[in-house]
């Protein structure tokens, strides 16, 4: 059975960053990732804050991200934009760079550090004993580890199987986020009405004089507040369409990337 000191489940940003840190410390670490490649469905998170760029700088890799993204003043509190350009740091700004690019760059770094990534394999369970953990994979194989780390996302199988709670409060707001083509040209920007906040922006944009200037074409990033919280099923394009009609009478036509409607 293949053995590592640490096995990380999940090769998203958290798992990749942890793997890089452990490899730099000389730890024998490996990642198990169910996605066959680092490709993401949709572009997901929109960038990095100043402190994250500082941490990446401490690891010598900040320039890889800065060279691909666009710097801007993005810090905020309660929807108030904060300008941190006079903060005493080399990175007194945020960076606009979609998560699919962030993951690609992190995966490249982790690859240079020779961290094995077992791709296209899902962890189905694990068994702990006094000396370590046996990790069961979907292909019938197992890995042995001294430590197992669950970086497998918000609905983490590892967390649940380990009996670790995820305490918090019941949600009071539910949003749908999607990348879609629209039948009508939406009014780009952030809007507020009796339903709450909804916004439209294009995936492709430029920062000009500190302002986001969206490209004229390409997929639209939509965020819309749902009328009700507590839905338990995966959101559909129809859910998105109904939510959009409810708040703004604008309709979405087709998903550019199937499955890119998510509920948060």
* Cβ burial, residue 220 (10 Å; 0-12/13-18/19+): buried
Q: How far apart are the first and last CA of the chain?
A: 39
Which residue of this chain has its Cβ atom nearest to ligand FAD in the complex?
12
What's the token pair of residue 8?
């990380």
Least distance in angstroms from the C-beta of 16 to ligand FAD: 7
Least distance in angstroms from the C-beta of 34 to ligand FAD: 4
Interacting residue ranges for ligand FAD, rule: CB under 6 A: 9-15, 32-35, 42, 44-46, 99, 122-123, 151-153, 157, 177, 262
Q: Which is nearer to ligand FAD, 81 or 86 (CB)?
A: 81
Distance of CA 151 to the CA centre of its chain: 12
Cα–Cα distance for residue pair 31/8, rounded to 1 Å: 5
Least distance in angstroms from the C-beta of 151 to ligand FAD: 5
Least distance in angstroms from the C-beta of 43 to ligand FAD: 8
Least distance in angstroms from the C-beta of 159 to ligand FAD: 10
Nearest to 62 by CA among 50, 76, 74: 50
Q: Which is nearer to ligand FAD, 26 or 140 (CB)?
A: 140
Query: What region, left, alpha or beta, does residue 102 occupy, with left being phi > 0 and alpha being psi -120 to 50 degrees?
Result: alpha
Cα–Cα distance for residue pair 201/223, rounded to 1 Å: 9
Least distance in angstroms from the C-beta of 129 to ligand FAD: 21
Cα–Cα distance for residue pair 172/229, rounded to 1 Å: 7
Cα–Cα distance for residue pair 206/98, rounded to 1 Å: 13
Q: Which is nearer to ligand FAD, 88 or 111 (CB)?
A: 111
Q: Which is nearer to ligand FAD, 151 or 247 (CB)?
A: 151
Q: Which is nearer to ligand FAD, 12 or 219 (CB)?
A: 12
Q: Which is nearer to ligand FAD, 35 or 144 (CB)?
A: 35
């Amino acid at each position: 059975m293949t053995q590592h000191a640490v096995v990380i489940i999940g090769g998203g940003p958290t798992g990749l960053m942890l793997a890089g840190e452990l490899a730099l410390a000389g730890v024998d670490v490996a990642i198990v990732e169910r996605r066959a490649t680092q490709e993401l469905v949709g572009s997901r998170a929109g960038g990095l804050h100043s402190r994250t760029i500082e941490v990446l700088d401490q690891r010598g890799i900040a320039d890889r991200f800065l060279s691909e993204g666009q710097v801007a003043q993005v810090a905020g509190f309660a929807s108030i934009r904060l300008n941190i350009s006079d903060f005493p740091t080399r990175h007194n700004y945020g960076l606009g760079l979609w998560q699919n690019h962030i993951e690609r760059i992190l995966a490249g770094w982790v690859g240079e550090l020779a961290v094995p990534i077992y791709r296209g394999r899902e962890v189905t369970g694990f068994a702990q004993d006094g000396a370590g953990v046996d990790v069961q994979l979907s292909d019938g194989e197992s890995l042995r580890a001294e430590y197992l780390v669950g970086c497998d996302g918000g609905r983490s199988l590892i967390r649940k199987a380990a009996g670790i709670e995820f305490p918090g409060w019941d949600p009071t707001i539910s949003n749908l986020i999607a990348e879609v083509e629209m039948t009508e040209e939406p009014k780009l920007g952030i809007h507020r009405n009796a339903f709450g906040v909804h916004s439209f922006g294009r995936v492709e944009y430029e920062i000009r004089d500190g302002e986001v200037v969206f490209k004229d074409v390409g997929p639209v990033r939509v965020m819309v507040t749902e009328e009700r919280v507590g839905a338990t099923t995966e959101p559909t394009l129809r859910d998105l369409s109904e939510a959009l009609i409810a708040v703004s009478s604008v309709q979405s036509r087709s998903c550019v990337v199937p499955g890119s409607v998510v509920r948060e």
